[in-house]
Structure formats: C-alpha cells, structure tokens
Structure 1
Amino acid sequence: MRDALRTMLVWCPDWPVIAADLVDGVPADRPVAVLHANRVVASSATARAEGVRRGLRKREAQARCPQLIAVDHDPVRDVRAFEPVLAAVEQVAASVAVLRAGVCAFAARGPARYHGGEEAAAERIVEQVAQECRVEAQIGVADGTFAALLAARTGRIVPPGQTPQFLAALPVATLERPQLVGLLRRLGITTLGAYAALPPGDVLARFGLDAALAQRLAAGRDDRPLAVRQAPPDLEVDERFDEPVDRVDTAAFAARALAERLHERLAGYGMACTRLAIGAVTADGRELHRVWRHDGILTAGGIADRTRWQLEGWITQRRLNQGIVALRLIPDGLVHQVGLQAGLWGDPGAERDRAHRALHRVQGILGPEAVVTAVLGGGRDPREQATLVPWGDERIAARAAGPWPGRLPPPSPAVVLDQPQPARLLDASGQVVGVSARLELTADPARLMLDRGPAEVVGWAGPWPVDEQWWDSRRSVRAVRLQVLLADGRALLLTLAAAEWTITLHFD
C-alpha cells in the first residue's frame, strides 16, 4: 500500500464570493452571501462579522445582516474565474489537480526541491497568484490531499510523518459528510482520531464504502495519487467533432453525451472513479489538459458537470483562436463500486438522472403539462412572480423582472397559499386591529386568532398599501399588507381587504 503523497494545496478562501466579484462585479469587501437552495454556502468576511454563516437560511442571514447582498450560486462562474489562478499556479508547479473551484493541489516534492524547501515554494506560489490574479491564496502542506486542505485553512506546513497527529484532534465535521457526521456524533464519536481508531472492517460493513474511505482520510492514510496515471485503454472515451466547438451550449451537449458513455463503460466493469482527467485539442493543434478530483465517487452527473465547467472555462477564459475538435475523458482513482446509494435529489448523479427520465416518461403518457417547474419573474404579488412551465421547456419568465414599485422586500416567502386563510388580528385589549387613512395601525398587534386558536404576536413590520389597476373597477386591488412574527417562530404575511384580515404567505 502506498504512503500518503506529500501534497501542497492552494486554497482561495471564500471563492464563490471572489468569483462573483471577478465575473459579475459584486464587491467582495461588502457583506455578501452566496446562496444555494435558499441556504448560505459562502459568505464574505464582512458578512461573517455580522454573524452570517454557512448553512443559514436566507431569511435568518438577512435578519442578522439587513444590508446583505445575496448572490445565487453559479458553479460555472466559479470555474471560469478560477482558470487564471490555475494558470498562475502552473507557472510554478506541474501536474496541478483541481479539487473544486478555488482549490487545487500538486505533489510538493518538485517545487520544494527547485525553490529550496516547502516554505519557500509556498511563498513563491502565493506571490505568483497575487501578482497574476490579485487574489488571496493560502497554502497547506501535509501527507495527503485531505490533510493538506485542512492545513491550508490555517496556512500550516505539517512536518512529514506527523499528519495523523495533526488530524486526530480535529472535529469529524471536517469530513464534510453531513449524514455520516450526524451519525458519528450520535454515537459519541466527535474527533477524527476517535473515528480513525474504529476497526476498519466494522466501519465498511456497517456504514459502507464512502464511510470507509472517510475513515482512511481521518487516519491520515490518504494514498490517492494526484498525478493522473494511465487508465486501462478500454476505459477512456473520446470524441472528435466534424465542426470545431466554440460555443458553450454546444460544449455542454458534447460533455453530457461523452460523460454518459464513460459512466456506462465504468459501470460495465463494476467500477467508479474519484478523479477525472479532461483533455481537448483545438483546431490549430493546441492541447489542453486538466485534472478534477472528488472526495467521493464521481457519478454520471458529476462527470458531465465537471466536463462542462472545464470546457466553458477553456472557451471563455482562454479566448481560443480555434474551436475544440477533440475531447477525451480519462478516469482515474478507480475503485470498485459496491452499492453506494445517494439521495434522490442530492448531488447530480445516477439517481437524479433516473428521476429526470421518469419525469419525461410521465410527460409522454399524460402530456407535457403533467410535469411542470416554477420560473421566477416579476410582479408585486408573490403569487404573480412564479410561472409554471412544462418540464424540459425553456425557462423564461412570463413577466419582466422589474422594477415593481410596491413589491414585497426580501426574503421571499416559502409558501404561497392558493386560498387565503381567514384570521383576526387583535390588540392587547381584544379589539380588532385596523389601518387608518394615514396607513397607520390603530393599535399594536398582540394576538392572531386562527382556526386552531390564538397565537401571540411578538413582532411585526408594515403596513404596506397595495393599490393596483385602480382604473379598472372589475380588476382593481386595494389592500394593506402586514408581516407578523409569532411566538412559535412562524412568520406570516397578512392582508387586510374589505375590513377582513387573511393569511396569504408563510415565510421560512
């Protein structure tokens, strides 16, 4: 069994935020949060100083930092912005492997020998990235990629042979496997050292292959090679194009088809890969090459996504004079596939692809309108802002994004009721709260009377008037909106129209 490779890793902190700055001009020195599925996945240092952390819901993050700039997560943007950083690192080191956008690694031996030591090589790379890209980078050096990544977070060089001791005291959360971490904590296992001490055979039998791989990382036995070794010839897949590919959408289509071929070929041998080498040749003979790594098993969707991201990075950042005429995918880090089961709606993979095919079959039987997806657009009322389009159709909003004077401010609601729910808003004396001609509440709200009984009101905001289409007596809308926070944590939007209060929205 191989010893863990002495690895030097480059980590660019808060990369999704930095990428939004580099590509879209979102100021990274302001409070910024990058969101995916309504949760924070990255935040700027200014936002963290206000209490914004990874995993927070958008509403909670905005409550902690009202001036927060929310940006949607865009993996393609992250990869495109990282391409110049990779080019800068490659001026100092060879065989650079990409772990994800913002993180790359390579064998430490070559740069350390050339520059007179690991510390000198690390300083040279940080300087190179700063000069070429004006981006902050931190370096970690340890035995194995996993430990090097953790070392990079503090800019540490772990001496050779001391990686297990370095890892032992770290929390199991550093494995970044939420389900496994939650299970280990319930079992009283809170550190990597305690997890590494468990019998490996029992871990494999009880928790599966991915947990066994994670235990090897926790023990400092990260023997996965960084350099791409030649896979068996019949596992590689390639494609030559009659016309040079120079458009991102064409490249995405080619990436998906080739990724499916590779995944089917691996599955035929009962194997999977944890690394992927992507090679391309342009019409003028230029050869491009990049290696992607993954902590777990690369699924068909994962292979396709990384191929698409890389092709877009080459096409948009390298400003190719000629299009791509050949594409090759080389699997590396081969492991035997032994029944891993991923979540249906989790990381894009075989299960998600299977779900997509099932949805298309439903459309084939019941018609395209049988399966729809929501597209956000413009409108003052949240019920107007979502348009349902058939699954697979182009996602174009029916109404322009703005401006819409009188539109509710963020955060967006989690639930929009088809039929408003009647309610009574009372003050401390039990009288119904109304709104005056000056758009002021007649009293402070104290209780909200619902079908299930009263609920205490602990906070409120508004009221906000709504006066739409006043010129059309049949379609005009005249109402007042009020946000309330209940003692049980629920946040609701109330609407007062024709002297009656109703609940129209629920906030998450």
Structure 2
Amino acid sequence: MADVKPAPQPVRVMLVWCPQWPVLAARMIHRVPTEAPMALVAKGAVVACSAAARDEGIRPGDRLRQAQHRCPDLVVLQHDPDAEQRAFEPILRAMADVVPSVHLVRPGVAAVRAGGAARFYGSEARAAQELQIAVRRAHPDGAPEVRVAVADGLFAAEQAAYQDVEVVPPGGSPGLLADLPVTVIAEAAGDPKMANVLRRMGIRTIGALAGLPREQVLDRFGASGLRAHQLACGLDAPILNPRTAPDELAARIVLEEPSDAIEVIVSECGSAVEQLSARINDGSLVCTGIRIITHHEPGPRESAGEIHEREWRHPWHLGAREILDRVQWQLTDLGKKSHRPITLIEIAATELDAAVQHSQGLWGDRPDDHVLHTLTGLQHRLGYDAVLVGSVVGGRMLHERQAFSPFGQATPDRAVRRLEQPWPDTVPGPAPSVVFREAQAMRVLTERGTSLSISDRGVLTGVPTSAQWPGGVSGRITAWAGPWPVNGRWWRRAKTDQKPLHRFQLVDDHQQAWLVLHAAGQWWAEARYD
C-alpha cells in the first residue's frame, strides 16, 4: 500500500463568477441584441448559448447544423477566449481595487485569498459584498448576475457559486459537495475517465468518494485519485498566482475649450497619440485595433453630454499617423450626427500583437508606401468610405459573396467570411468574371417566340432558343444548362409567399456565357462569363 503524505490545510478562497460570461462578452463585443438567440461555436459545435437560444432547444455540445435547424435565425459567432479575457479586464481591475492579488481562473471566474479581505472588512460576508458591488460597477451592462462565494479551496468555492451559496463555514465544504456527482470532481482532478470506474464500483456521489480510505483510492487511481479524494474532503490548498493587470495602453485628451473644429481637435491629439505609439513600440508590440471615444458638451437641459464610441481595426499596424487619420475620419462622420462641441477624447489600444509576428518578409507583406500614401490621400479628399477593397465571402447568391470594406480596415476573418461552409445552391465551377451590382431584366424565348417559364415543379414550358439580353440586344441561344432550384431559406419564402427561384447558364451566338435567374415568370441576368 502506498504511503500517503499528510493532507495540506485548506485555504479559504473568495471566488467571483459571472454566469454565462462567454455569451455576455460576445454580446458586448459584437453588439448583439439581448433578445436575439445567439450561440458561440468552435470546431463545428456549440460551446455556449444565450437564454433565447436555450428556449429554442439549443444546448452546448450540439452540432452547428443541428442548432441552425432548430433555430434558423440563430446568431452564430466563433468562440474567442482571448476576446473574452480582454472584456474581463475591467472586472479584474475592479477586484484588485477591493482585494489585491487577484487570481484569474478563466474569463468570467477569478479568485482571491479570503483571509486578508475578511480581516480588513471585518468578515467574509462583508468582503464578499464589497467585491460584488465593485464588479457590478465595473461591468458595462451593470452585471445583473454576479455571484461571490467563500469556501475552503478553489474547487468548493466554485461549486458554492454555482449553488448560489455565499459563505460556506470552515470545514463545511464536504457537506456542500456530498450530493454532487463524481463526474464533477473527476474533471477537476484531471481524469474524466475515473468517473466511469467509480460509477461501476457503485460510487456515484462525491460524499461516497470522501468516505473511502485515502490509501485505497491512491492505490487504485494514482495521483489523480488522491487529488479527487482531497477535494472531496475539503482539503484543497490551491496556489493562487497573483495577477498583475497590464497597464492600459490608452490616451486621454481633455480639450482646454470645447470645440467642433476637426483640425483643432486632431492637432490637440497629436502629442498624446505620439506618446501612446511610443509606449506601444517600447513594449515590442504592434497595435492592430483601437477604440476612439468622444465625449460631447451637454445641452442646456442635459445633465450629461453624448458619448460616441467606435472600434477601428487595421490589416497591418496602426502608427501615430494612422491613429490620427482615424480620429479625423471619426470626427468627420460625427459632424453629420452630432453638432455638440467635443470636450474629451479617449483612445485605447484594443488589439495588440508581438512585434515579431508582424516583421516584414523578404518580399514584403503590405502595399508600397507610395500606394498607401495615394489611397490614404484619396480617403482624406473623398471620405473614409469612398475607397473600398473587395473580398470574397460565403453566400448562396453571387451578390452575397461580395464584401467591401474601406481601405486600411482589416479584411473579414474566416469566421465572418465563412468560406469553408458548404453553402448549398451555390454555382459550381469557375465563378463569373462580371457580377452585376443589381440583376438586370431580360427575356428568354422559346422556338415559338413566346416567353419561356418554369412551373412550380421545375418543368420548362419549352426549349430556350433566343433571348433579349440586357441592353436590348437580341440573339440566339446556342447552349444552355439548368434549371437549378435555389432552395435557401425556404421557411422565409413560405411565410412571404415568394415564388421559387431557378438558375440557368446560357451561351449566346457570340460565345458569351450568362448566368441568369428566373422567378415568377421574370428573367434576370445575374452575371456574365468573359
């Protein structure tokens, strides 16, 4: 029988848990309405979902296709733990203001040692209350549900938070855990398979596991079994690593006099932006995203002025000049919406990478400086949104597969482009070279000179022989293929009484190929092959 070392003395831990933090963070970042059903996915499976999605029958672990079948209007976002941690930073800083040495368990869960906080505030319950108040104030949406729990050890404190138990008295953790299934403690011990063995042995609860001799558990399950037994007995002495919150790379520009003159405001920002850029460079970092917040002077009957916020992302990196350009563009757009003078501007770096990851390759990885200068100059003259860059995204219809973004803005990532998705009813083979911005009306005629149509069952009323192409030019049809029904979003078509949509490929007597659409007796040219 293996020798068992004496168990360590338990450590009192105070834990903060924000339920459904991945969903809350994604909702804040992407500004998804609260009532919209939303799911976070990773590797084709649902990782977390909102309450509205749960009402539709969606659960974590569901396959994406299964979830979309249950809720066609589901908002699908990629699970991004890094973004969730960035969104959790304000809460960590708020916790550090109340109790120092905060330990980050994972985004949405953090812990501190309870002993010092209890001595300072007079009791564990009072310290937990102060921590809860600080977290709710730090949360942008007021954090309607924040739970703080105190227990012996990190594991018991987290389970107490799940059960909405605020303070578990010293030595009371085994009673709190006794009725929980062994699957919970097996995962915490790092050996999920242990739960199956325990259940086959008739041990189904943590209380039953705690009643076994520790030496026998060690002999049967090894180090993971010993760890599970210690957790079950409330003998948890976790090592809480104090986390030093990184300095926020931000600039705050308070204008001496409220102003709405763009040139004056940009000039005022120049020195602060230069210092911010220097601090980023000194940290061997590259900034690829910023947040610009403008505070406006209140009106005669207003207690507080308007606040406008905008996120900017860049495909390469944002230097001082690029940041000032975006300040100018944002102020130009604001001039169309708000006429109140600006009193304060805040600029914060939101996306940072190591500089080594952005080192230039042998052949370069960004446009030539002359090209950058020319296109940026055009944006200053014509407007930020006047110079666009195209990219291909996923979609059924050809016009849905085009996405345009202003030059200097990061192109859509894989999660947004969704090119890897199957997209049924798309056009196979080489894509057309010319896609019309709006489908152009045309006619397709049979051998009798009558207009060709398609029945609801997809049957042609004749053979396509000639056509009147866009622009009024008539010609013969030398080859054709189709029809192919487009069945995407059939549930919406049924609600709106829309007619079925079919695709054709036609070749005229000048060897020009066309991609055309037919719906409700009308023909449209969607694209042309050159």
Q: Please, what TM-score do these two structures have when normalized by structure 2? A: 0.47
Q: Please, what TM-score do these two structures have when normalized by structure 1? A: 0.49
Structure 1 or 2, whichever has the larger Rg, is 2
